[in-house]
Structure 1
Amino acid sequence: MNKILTVTLNPAIDVRYNIEKIEMGNINRTTAVEKNAGGKGINVSRVIKQLGGDILATGIVGGYTGKLFLSKLDKDTIENSFLETDFETRTCIAAIDKNTGKITEFLESAEGKEKDFEKFLEKYISILEKGIKLVCGSGSLLKGIKKDSYNILINEASKRGIRFILDTSGDTLAKGIEAAPFLIKPNQDELEDMFKKKFATLDEIVEGAREIIKKGVENVMVTLGGNGAVLITKNEVYRATFPKVQIKNTVGSGDSTIGGFAYGIAEGKNLEESFKLGVACGTTNAMLDTTGSIDLEILDTVLKSIKIEKILNN
């Protein structure tokens, strides 16, 4: 069984506004509106499904927006099993200025209770027991649940020999590292935030990642925006680069990278092959107007242009 489980503990209804020119302090009328089930784990799920993978999405939702969220997932035919609670699932807005191409985001926070996580944990363990190849935990935590919630999920997966990919940031990432996940995926800013310093060179980025690996994390993937990405293992470093492409929307590109990488691992590809597929998916997402999505024809072209260089082996 190659089923991948995605965990989204703080999902959202993602609202996207297209506006010709955003004027602060004035009325801004949209030219297009799009509403989707959102959250980093949902973007990961969508990409895995588009690749043809076997995916199950889980997490915590609540209220009217939670029901809307689940209806959107069903419409996207993404198999799901979420815990429904009393709190209201958040709404996040991305306003895109068509004149400048700049994106302004408004991200709500959402409340939860520790008892909600405890109920979710029961559901999560039940799902793991049914047979899961790989788990992807993505995004922030609900306010009101403990910072080490991902640690608990990672440990439960590890007990059953299931790999766990963690994509979060800040204190939640710092705590999650303690549970030694299979892979973490900070971008350069997030990595620098962990070490409270700037990294001027690739060597410094690799050195920082190695410090994390010493704590038990198996692999660290650092995304570098238009400069590609780097995958650091205990003994090797892979650098991915791609030619300049026309960027339409970078929102969800990191999640798309995780989706491609996770799909590759679940299907038995090695780290290098999975890394290449992940970077190709992230690049493809950036070339589309949609968020956390890929086009298979474009992906095929992009894959051929991705270059993977093994730059260190010691």
Structure 2
Amino acid sequence: MNKILTVTLNPAIDVRYNIEKIEMGNVNRTSTIEKNAGGKGINVSRVIRQLGGAILSTGIIGGYTGKLFLSKLDKDSIENSFLETDFETRTCIAAIDKSTGKITEFLESAEGKEKDFEKFLEKYISILENGIKLVCGSGSLLKGIKKDSYNILINEASKREIKFILDTSGETLVEGIKAAPFLIKPNQNELEEIFKKKLNTIDEIVNAARIIVKKGVENVMVTLGENGAILVTENEVYRATFPKVEIKNTVGSGDSTIGGFAYGIAEGKSLEESFKLGVACGTTNAMLDTTGSIDLEILDTVLNNIKIEKAPNN
């Protein structure tokens, strides 16, 4: 069984406003509006499902928006098992100015309590013991939950020899590194935040990733936007690049990259093959208007044009 578990501890209802031209200080009317179940782990789930993988999505939700969230997951045929609490799941708004293509986001924070995480942990362990191949923990944490909460999830997976991919940022990522997950995926800015300095060259980025690998993280993938991505392991460095494509929407591209990579690993593909698939999924997402989604026909074309260079990790 190759089922992948995605963990979204701070999910959201994602509201997307498409506006012909945003005028600050004035009334702006939307041309179209979309409401979807959101959160980084949900984007990962959607991509894995589109690739044909087996997926189970879990996390913590609550209130009216939490019920709406679950209904959206069911509509998208994403198998799920969430802990329901008394706290209201957040709403996040993305306003797209169609005249410029720029996206303005309004992201709510959401409350939670440590006891909610403790209850979730019981559910999580039960799920792990029922045939999970790989876990992807994505996104931020609810306010009120300890910053090292992912560490506990990583350790529980490790006890059962289940690989854990961590995609978060800031203090939560710094803490998560201590639990030595199978892979982390910072973008360049997030990596610079860890080291509190600017990384100006590819060599500097690779060297920073090497430091994290030496701390016990098996693999560090750094996404570089239009400049591709780098994967650093104990023994090798992979660099992925792709030809210039028309970018429509980069929101969810990092999650799509994780989805492709996780699917590849769960299906027994090599690190290099999984890395290539991940970068191809992230690129495909950026070519679409939707968030955290891929088109298989476009993916096939993109995949054929991804170039992977490999060098020893000296």
TM-score by length of 1: 0.99
Equivalent position of 1:301 in the other structure = 301
User: In the aligned structure 2, how far is the partner of 1:17 from the partner of 1:215?
Assistant: 42
CA distance in 2: counterparts of 1:34 and 1:63, whole angstroms:
20
Report sequence identity in percent.
Answer: 88
Deviation string for 1:257-291 (max 9, x for gaps)?
00000000000000000000000000000000000
Letter in 2 for 1:187: N
Q: Is the 8 A contact 2:199 2:205 kept in 1?
A: yes
Counterpart of 2:228 in structure 1 is 228
Mapped contact 2:164–2:183 kept (Cα < 8 A): yes
- Opposite residue 264 of structure 1, the aligned amino acid is G
Distance 1:3 1:273 in 2: 19
Does structure 1 retain, via aligned residues, the 8 Å contact 2:219–2:232?
yes
Aligned residues: 314
Shift of 1:214: 1.1
CA distance in 1, matches of 2:83, 2:233: 35
Q: Counterpart of 1:55 in structure 2: which amino acid? A: I
1:125 is aligned to 125
**Corresponding residue of 1:38:** 38
2:268 paired with 1:268? yes
Which amino acid letter does the alignment assign opposite residue 213 of structure 2?
I
- 1:134 is aligned with what amino acid? L
Q: Pairwise CA RMSD of aligned residues?
A: 0.5
State the AA in 1 paired with 2:173: L
Partner of 1:195: 195
- Show CA shifts across 1:4-43 (max 9, x none): 0000000000000000111111100000100000000000
| 2:111 alignment partner in structure 1 | 111
1:171 aligns with 2:171: yes
- Segments of 5+ residues of structure 1 without an aligned counterpart are none
Partner of 1:95: 95
**In structure 2, what residue type is equivalent to 1:130?**
N
**Cross-structure match for 1:54:** 54
Deviations 1:25-76 (A, max 9, x none): 1100000100000000000000000000000000000000000000000000
Question: Counterpart in 1 of 2:216?
Answer: 216
Amino acid at match of 2:207: E
The amino acid across from 2:283 in the alignment is T
Paired with 1:313 and 1:141, the residues of 2 have a C-alpha distance of 33
> What corresponds to 1:78 in structure 2?
78
Corresponding residue for 1:141?
141
1:115 partner amino acid: K
1: CA distance, partners of 2:93 / 2:308: 35
Secondary structure in 2 matching 1:291 = coil
Q: Which residue of 2 is the match for residue 286 of structure 1?
A: 286
- Residue 27 of structure 1 corresponds to 27
CA contact (8 A) 2:240 2:306 kept: yes
Aligned to 1:247: 247
For the residue of structure 2 that corresponds to 1:81, the secondary structure is: strand
Secondary structure, aligned partner of 2:21: coil
1:15 & 1:117 partners in 2: Cα distance?
A: 26
After superposition, give the CA deviation of every residue in 1:117-145 in whole Å (9 maximum; x if it has no partner): 00000000000011100000000000001
Report the alpha carbon displacement of residue 312 of structure 1 after superposing the two structures with TM.
3.0
- Separation in 1, partners of 2:299, 2:49: 14
Q: Secondary structure at the match of 1:308?
A: strand
Corresponding residue for 1:181? 181
Q: CA deviation at 1:235?
A: 1.1
Cα distance in structure 1, aligned partners of 2:313 and 2:55: 34
Which deviations, in whole Å up to 9, do the C-alpha atoms of 1:65-117 show, x marking residues without a partner?
00000000000000000000000000000000000000000000000000000
Q: Does the aligned pair in 1 maintain the 2:47–2:260 contact within 8 Å?
A: yes
Distance in 2 between the 1:258 and 1:313 partners? 22
What is the CA distance between 1:311 and its match in structure 2?
2.9
2:67 paired residue number: 67
| Structure 2, unaligned runs of 5 or more | none
1:280 counterpart letter in structure 2: A
Q: Distance in 1 between matches of 2:242 and 2:17?
A: 30
Q: 8 Å contact 2:233–2:313 — kept in the other structure? A: no
CA distance in 1, matches of 2:6, 2:281: 17
Cα contact 2:37–2:73 (8 A) shared by 1: yes
Separation (CA, whole Å) in 1 of partners of 2:197 and 2:218: 23
In 1, Cα distance between equivalents of 2:251 and 2:151: 27
Q: SS of the counterpart of 2:247? A: coil
Residue number in structure 2 paired with 1:156: 156
